[in-house]
Structure 1
């Protein structure tokens, strides 16, 4: 563990941290010490983000539960920081349950949300539940209820609802109207009635999720689906909680405004109405996105008739969001920020035309060996990294209390073949 100056003023809590707010000298120092590509995750910033959203919903609701959607980042250091803040873990796969338990989560406070859950997943989570009877299992099909009953489950059950309303930054993450997710809205009352009559399970909650990365323009859809879920919860009755999912976005572009999370919480309360059940929500991206950045080194400069190509040592295997979603991530030259600006195409070493982080974006022209930072990579960054193209996954550096440490070591070539041996 290395002593360092904190990345940001620990007394400040801006609604969003922009890429330019990171300390360039510190990031260059981290790149020199730990090599690149390297993920940097600021645990103090994650704590700030959690406290802000928890305070906003505490002010609007009576005793809400703000969980952490583990799929955004399943690293132990991140989960430990959020567990320390009191956040229960919302897990969308058995492996996430396993990792949450390893990080110290109380199994009674874990919520498992299975989407077309494989048999092995159900076997594992029911096994955990047998020793933790307050654990809540959340499923989105009546078929999954039957499969749980076959395994002897008779505990706390939540049903995922498809509200027919979707929102989010990309079609691939708009879940609220996709048939894959949840029981059709109009069918839910009958399903609840059958489950209560035919199975020895306690239906304690309903759940829905509109999508991921919602900003101001999505708040009308958010309010509409929250209102529908409030109506449904009142119709079903006798619930402990209503889980409205997460999906609160952060601005990846400098010209986008951050959510006023206090206003979002108040509008959620107004849309929901009076309800004899507590509120749950499960942010992921909101807590993590601006707490992370990705460091990379320039290795190639190639002028072509169409564009200038800048090759870096990070790739779509390191950060897949630009290739998968066309997502925008800010890019900052940490070594030569005042170099002449020109349209640049920045890409990695993978033999795919999709392995680009931007195309013809005006940026300071780098030189070979320059360090660059890619912003807003804390959520769905390392979590979606892969070994495609036999690329070892990068090191992850955690910042906390003015110190840096390795949260996950860099993979080696030996790691690529370890399971084959």
Structure 2
């Protein structure tokens, strides 16, 4: 690796603490910080490793407009899971969009079909995971190309809630795909591809083994179908090391293993990473409100919580936490629980963390917050969502998403 090559992972310790303190002071907290320069580096890493494959960005990982524009400019296409994501992708300038419809509501299909009719210049493919979705598209006179989402019976991921490849919710059962493929063609549609996805946060050897098995099964299916395909998309889910002691993925080895598992194909092999593109490009900044010693631990109350960053409460996910106090290195360490302001026991961002003795008004940074951070934020407990600031990679900073206010929360309720 040369000094010009993008590093495989950006750790929380690699962020400039003085810059983060300044951002917290200028924009207040809770605050998401997204570094577009790092997004570009991650895209470059993927393009280097998967040099012969079609690489799309799984938009659901982070739909902030500034980030979508960065990804599009860097050369990736868009993989979307909802009509709203399709619209965001189009608005951000993507010209190739794949919509993988998961039990799509009627309103989603109405919107996507209308968008396809209004923008014939956009290469839009709808990927269906049920026969009923095909029927619904026929009813709407959709005339574009179709792909099939396959349930290959192989799943992997960092948590059971994000393991999709063997979950019955997702995709057409493997052995029923040939019949659906025939029906699609008989109804006059252009069948252009197959799609499958093992799960999210694939990192360990067991996960990678499941990914290889999925790819191998999908390669066999693509070769056995009596239809020519343009692409075989074997999903994303490439994991990043959330724990500081974890090693990053050997992306070149994963790419080579994916190619080997797929075997010889007439269709183009494709992947759709989301987390890998944006996770380490984002941090969450939060301010200490209270410090409460208890017999069990020191409870550090901060102004970010499960409504700001849901992953710890929903998935028991680990995010590294760092004190940005300018004298942090001179303080004694304590064992702490970092907890938010939400009235729920689950509202904990980190347990049993060794941190410099915290004080009120200290600012903490929470790492790997660029994926499924702001994207999963909510207004539970009537808490406005945080602001997002964007670093453009040259030192310039701008607001990408304004901070919500209490008035924003009640704006749609009308006059009482």
TM over 0.5: yes
Indicate if the aligned counterparts of 2:150 and 2:177 stay in contact, CA closer than 8 A. yes
Alignment-derived partner of residue 349 in structure 1 = 341
Instruction: State which of 186, 193, 203 in structure 1 corresponds to 2:182.
Output: 193
SS at match of 2:50: helix
Indicate if the aligned counterparts of 1:153 and 1:201 stay in contact, CA closer than 8 A. no
Instruction: State which of 376, 381, 401 in structure 1 corresponds to 2:368.
Output: 376
Alignment-derived partner of residue 75 in structure 2 = 86
SS at match of 2:411: helix
Out of 97-106 and 342-351, give the one that drifted further: 97-106
Instruction: State which of 102, 106, 111 in structure 1 corresponds to 2:91.
Output: 102
Instruction: State which of 248, 261, 264 in structure 1 corresponds to 2:251.
Output: 261
Shift of 1:292: 0.3
**Match runs of 1:24-173 below 5 Å:** 24-58=17-51, 61=52, 64-106=53-95, 109-133=96-120, 134-173=123-162
Instruction: State which of 255, 271, 277 in structure 1 corresponds to 2:267.
Output: 277
Indicate if the aligned counterparts of 2:390 and 2:400 stay in contact, CA closer than 8 A. yes
Distance in structure 2 (CA, Å) of the matches to 1:12 and 1:417 = 48
SS at match of 1:352: coil
Instruction: State which of 401, 414, 417 in structure 1 corresponds to 2:410.
Output: 417
Shift of 1:12: 5.6
Distance in structure 2 (CA, Å) of the matches to 1:154 and 1:201 = 7
SS at match of 2:127: strand
How large is the RMSD of aligned CA atoms in angstroms?
1.2
Alignment-derived partner of residue 379 in structure 2 = 387
Distance in structure 1 (CA, Å) of the matches to 2:403 and 2:142 = 40
Alignment-derived partner of residue 325 in structure 1 = 315
Distance in structure 2 (CA, Å) of the matches to 1:303 and 1:366 = 11
**Match runs of 1:241-320 below 5 Å:** 241-320=231-310
Deviations 1:211-254 (A, max 9, x none): 00001321111111100000000011400000111100000001
Q: Which structure 1 residue ranges, 4+ long, deviate > 3 Å from structure 2?
A: 131-134
Query: Which blocks of at least 5 consecutive residues in structure 2 are unaligned?
Result: none
Query: How many residues were matched structurally?
Result: 405
Distance in structure 1 (CA, Å) of the matches to 2:380 and 2:87 = 24
Deviations 1:15-61 (A, max 9, x none): 11111110111100111111111000000100100111111111xx3
